[in-house]
């Protein structure tokens, strides 16, 4: 019977297979447009402008035909010119350094008459146009030391304690003596989700959790007491050192419901006086990060604070002498207070010390807006932005002319609310001015949020005199263009760069299609992005793959060229389209970038509203385009996308037939706390601590996928990395156990030594994921003689 069924299946698939191109050729094309293989393929898509003096000129580095080039620009006219002859400068630099210089000239500063090169052991000051260089040695590198801004003193960790060294001296001074294992200074805690790479590496590194004041007189230290936090075991089954006995690593990671989660100590150190002062946070406030602004007189620091589950957020003023804290302004919110609608982006908060004001981000009117408050009293002075749109980022402030520059999304009435534009508005009130009328996504370099790094504003998009601003814009089918604009009215002064996308085109990459659909509620407009197969034929049905993330903290459907070519999560969208799938991504209810109400839809129920929107959206698109095979729908995702893809096939088994779920938190009672994104765990009777080992918080039961295991009908592959701290391997195995108990067949891929980023870095995982959809959704045999080659890429934190 089984053989007959397979024969019938093969016969039913035969016509489609005959029409389709050979799969090995499709795999080869897919490899060319794979995100990892297109990293760096877009040249001059964005630039890092560095302003000279008050902003009369700027310079930047670009990719030229013969190698890197350095361009200097007259900000008034936009006139561009080569700053110097790279080959001639290299010869001069090598003569001065008496040896080879780095492959790319390490230009660290540039003016019309000089250029500075910073090598590993020396700096070279080269005069232009004479091309004469003088060499000055740099101090010996000490990779274990974090140097103060003045470069004269630095900190390192020895035996869990902080030690101070002075440049040019062999003597060191112990600043602390109470450091201990799991309560060490300068060490990332297990809750950082970065413990495993650090524990497995013997490379020296500077202290973590240290922020110096700009005057180098003080620093803030953050450490977590994990001595009572239970260890979390990771087994390295294939040791990196080539040995055969597995190794056990045990970072301290608390789980939901644990009584001991680790107390954080934040202290100010006065270096000259060798004095430590604990910052005195009260009333349940917790510092978010560290001090981000230091007062000019060196007496006060400012930091962002929040209470449990971000039910309240505030700005704290810290007395650097006594450690006393005054919460300048605070705001309570029923659901998830935050400092930017996109939590991976920098906070939209700025201290304007000279005028004793603070710019404050709030969603109190239902949209992300910027408000101006009095720094002394916290009193609201005025609302600076308005309308049914959410501010994305503060990108610059012209303090002299009291102008705020910011980016914001559109409204639901616009062609696309995910298009980003640049605006300016007066700190004294009045309507915002649109500076970028072109349709699409405008990306502007953000200024630093504080003054902790001297000179960092040199890379800001806004010129120091507030007269010019640099930004780039693109759309899915329009390559990025970087322009210099007037900061007053947005008029383009000059086009600095038109991105070179010839390598992307040569790889065969094709732009996806932006779509507007309606949510499952029948009224809410949604937007998505669809990657279609090449040469799609009218009337022919194609299998559909839903590429999903679904977390409440990021959007997923690309809107600009860069993001469409190299997607963050999940990868492989363009590649899967080349294999013959229609690949759909939808930003459903529960994701950010629009109203707070839209985002809040996922707060207690997480993925269910978005999955309903995906089902409704795919059905609507099937009616619109006619090529969607609704009997062959698959889904895949990583991290939160691993959860949503697994939930899709379990909660909607008649819709989704194949799922690849990688690194997903498939239950939350066995996970580390994610309070803020979700409510505080509730075990009943006001208890937040687990009453017994097997207890499940009542408000997390509906998030647990294990009870849904009996629903499985289609093909499910669970994938996890052995060293993944972001998505604990135990949770995937707990899901596997539930499927086994339900007597459900499933597939599992175990990746030795892999961390959370394997969906971007593992060619093996990527090819097997392709194979899984080809075999079970397309119903064809993957090519046995193909081996995916993938460029190495740097891990990306977060998701």
- Domain ranges, ordered by start, for the chain: 22-41+504-667+705-776, 50-137, 338-500
Report DSSP letters for 16-60, one per residue: HHHHSPPHHHHHHHHHHH-HHHHTTTSBSSS---EEETTTTEEEE
Selected residue with higher pLDDT from 102 and 561: 561
Q: Would strands 300-306 and 312-319 be described as parallel, antiparallel, or unpaired?
A: antiparallel
User: pLDDT value at position 458?
Assistant: 53
Residue 459's pLDDT is what?
Answer: 64
pLDDT in tens, 536-589: 999 999 999 999 999 999 999 999 999 999 999 999 999 999 999 999 999 999
Choice between 592 and 12, residue whose per-residue pLDDT is larger: 592
Is the per-residue pLDDT at 8 higher than 50?
no
Q: In what order do the strands lie in the sheet with 433-434?
A: 391-398, 403-409, 420-426, 433-434
Among residues 280, 265, 418, which one has the least CA distance to residue 341? Answer: 418
**Bond into 791 cis (ω within 30):** no
Query: Binning pLDDT at 50, 70 and 90, where does residue 100 land?
Result: confident
Both tokens of 15, joined, read 């016509």
- Pick from 90-94, 192-196, 697-701: least confident: 192-196
Quickly state the pLDDT bin for 679 (edges 50, 70, 90): very high
What pLDDT sits at residue 21? 61
Would the pLDDT of 16 be above 60? no
3-class DSSP state for residue 88? helix
Of the ranges 46-50, 311-315, 789-793, the best mean pLDDT one: 311-315
pLDDT given at position 3: 36
The topology under which CATH files domain 338-500 is: Methanol Dehydrogenase; Chain A (2.140.10)
Rounded average pLDDT over 394-421: 94
Report residue 526 CA to chain centroid gap: 23
Query: Under 8 Å CB-to-CB from 155, ≥6 apart: which residues?
Result: 145, 146, 162, 163, 164, 165, 175, 186, 206, 207, 210, 219
Average pLDDT, the chain: 93
pLDDT, tens digit (0-9, with 9 covering 90-100), for 457-467: 456 799 999 99
pLDDT surpassing 90 at residue 280: no
The contacts of residue 685 (CB under 8 Å, 6+ apart) are none
Give the per-residue pLDDT at 672: 94
Q: Is the pLDDT of residue 654 over 50?
A: yes
Kindly report, residue by residue over 414-431, the tens digit of the pLDDT.
899 999 999 999 999 999
584/655 Cα distance (integer angstroms) = 14
Q: What is the pLDDT of residue 450?
A: 73
CA-CA-CA-CA torsion sign (635, 638, 641, 645) = positive
pLDDT-above-70 percentage for the chain: 95
Most confident of 98-107, 586-595, 674-683: 586-595
pLDDT of residue 10: 34
Q: pLDDT per residue over 468-485, tens digit each?
A: 999 999 999 999 999 999
Please state, for a pLDDT cut of 90, what percent of the chain lies above it: 88
Q: Give yes or no for a contact between 86 and 97, defined as CB atoms under 8 angstroms apart.
A: no
Strands 350-352 and 275-278: unpaired
Class for the domain spanning 22-41+504-667+705-776: alpha beta
The token duo for 9 is 């299946």
User: For residue 454, what pLDDT is reported?
Assistant: 39
**Residue 45: what pLDDT?**
94
Does the pLDDT value for residue 1 go beyond 80? Answer: no
Same fold? 22-41+504-667+705-776, 338-500: no
């Amino acid at each position: 019977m089984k053989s007959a069924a397979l024969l019938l299946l093969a016969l039913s698939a035969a016509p489609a297979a005959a029409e389709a191109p050979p799969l090995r050729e499709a795999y080869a094309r897919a490899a060319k447009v794979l995100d990892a293989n297109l990293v760096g393929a877009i040249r001059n898509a964005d630039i890092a402008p560095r302003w000279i003096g008050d902003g009369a000129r700027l310079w930047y580095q670009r990719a030229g035909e013969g190698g890197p080039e350095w361009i200097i620009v007259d900000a008034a006219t936009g006139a561009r010119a080569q700053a110097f002859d790279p080959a001639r400068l290299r010869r001069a630099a090598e003569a001065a350094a008496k040896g080879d210089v780095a492959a790319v000239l390490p230009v660290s500063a540039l003016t019309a008459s000089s250029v500075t090169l910073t090598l590993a052991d020396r700096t070279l000051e080269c005069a232009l146009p004479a091309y004469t260089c003088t060499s000055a040695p740099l101090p010996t590198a000490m990779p274990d030391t974090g140097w103060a801004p003045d470069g004269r003193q630095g900190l390192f960790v020895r035996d869990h304690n902080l030690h101070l060294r002075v440049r040019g001296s062999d003597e060191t001074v112990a600043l602390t003596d109470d450091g201990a294992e799991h309560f060490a200074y300068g060490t990332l805690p297990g809750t950082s989700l970065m413990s495993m790479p650090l524990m497995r590496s013997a490379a020296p590194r500077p202290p973590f959790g240290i922020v110096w004041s700009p005057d180098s007189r003080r620093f803030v230290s953050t450490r977590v007491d994990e001595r009572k936090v239970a260890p979390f075991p990771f087994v390295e089954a294939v040791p990196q050192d080539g040995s055969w006995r597995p190794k056990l690593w045990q970072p301290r990671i608390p789980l939901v419901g644990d009584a001991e989660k680790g107390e954080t100590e934040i202290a100010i150190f006065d270096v000259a006086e060798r004095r430590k002062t604990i910052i005195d946070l009260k009333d349940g406030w917790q510092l978010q990060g560290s001090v981000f602004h230091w007062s000019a007189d060196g007496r006060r620091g400012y930091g962002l604070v929040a209470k449990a589950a971000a039910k309240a957020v505030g700005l704290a003023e810290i007395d650097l002498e006594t450690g006393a804290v005054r919460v300048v302004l605070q705001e309570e919110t029923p659901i998830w207070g935050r400092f930017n609608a996109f939590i991976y982006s920098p906070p939209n908060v700025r201290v304007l010390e000279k005028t004793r004001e603070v710019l404050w981000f709030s969603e109190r009117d239902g949209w992300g807006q910027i408000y101006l408050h009095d720094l002394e009293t916290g009193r609201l002075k005025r609302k600076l932005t308005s309308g049914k749109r959410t501010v994305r980022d503060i990108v610059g402030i012209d303090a002299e002319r009291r102008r705020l520059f910011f980016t914001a999304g559109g409204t639901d009435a616009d062609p696309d609310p995910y298009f980003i534009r640049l605006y300016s508005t007066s700190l004294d009130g009045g309507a915002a001015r649109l500076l970028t009328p072109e349709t699409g996504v405008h990306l502007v370099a953000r200024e630093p949020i504080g003054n902790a790094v001297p000179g960092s504003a040199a890379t800001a998009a806004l010129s120091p005199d507030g007269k010019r601003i640099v930004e780039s814009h693109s759309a899915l089918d329009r390559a990025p263009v970087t322009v210099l604009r007037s900061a007053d009215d947005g008029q383009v002064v000059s086009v600095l760069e038109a991105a070179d996308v010839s390598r992307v085109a040569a790889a065969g990459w094709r732009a996806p299609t932006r779509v507007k659909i309606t949510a499952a509620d029948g009224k809410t407009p949604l937007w998505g992005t669809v990657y279609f197969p090449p040469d799609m034929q009218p009337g022919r049905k194609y299998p559909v793959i839903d590429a999903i993330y679904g977390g409440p903290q990021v959007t997923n459907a690309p809107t600009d060229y860069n993001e469409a070519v190299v997607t963050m999560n999940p990868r492989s969208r363009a590649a899967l389209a080349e294999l013959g799938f229609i690949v759909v991504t939808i930003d459903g209810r529960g994701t950010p970038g629009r109203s707070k109400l839209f985002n809040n839809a996922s707060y207690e129920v997480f993925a269910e509203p978005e999955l309903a929107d995906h089902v409704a959206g795919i059905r609507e698109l099937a009616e619109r385009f006619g090529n969607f095979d609704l009997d062959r729908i698959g889904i895949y995702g990583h991290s939160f996308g691993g959860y949503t893809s697994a939930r899709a096939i379990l909660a909607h088994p008649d819709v989704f037939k194949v799922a690849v779920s990688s690194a997903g938190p498939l239950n939350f009672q066995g996970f580390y706390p994610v309070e803020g994104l979700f409510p505080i765990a509730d075990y009943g009777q006001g208890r937040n601590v687990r009453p017994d080992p097997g207890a499940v918080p009542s408000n997390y039961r509906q998030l647990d996928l294990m009870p849904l295991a009996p629903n499985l009908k289609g093909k499910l592959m669970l994938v996890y990395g052995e060293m993944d701290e972001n998505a604990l391997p135990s949770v995937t195995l707990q899901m596997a156990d539930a499927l086994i108990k339900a007597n459900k067949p499933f597939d599992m891929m175990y990746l030795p030594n892999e961390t959370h980023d394997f969906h971007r870095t593992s060619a093996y995982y990527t090819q097997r994921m392709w194979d899984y959809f080809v075999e079970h959704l397309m119903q064809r045999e993957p090519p046995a003689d193909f081996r995916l080659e993938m460029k190495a890429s740097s891990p990306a934190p977060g998701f």
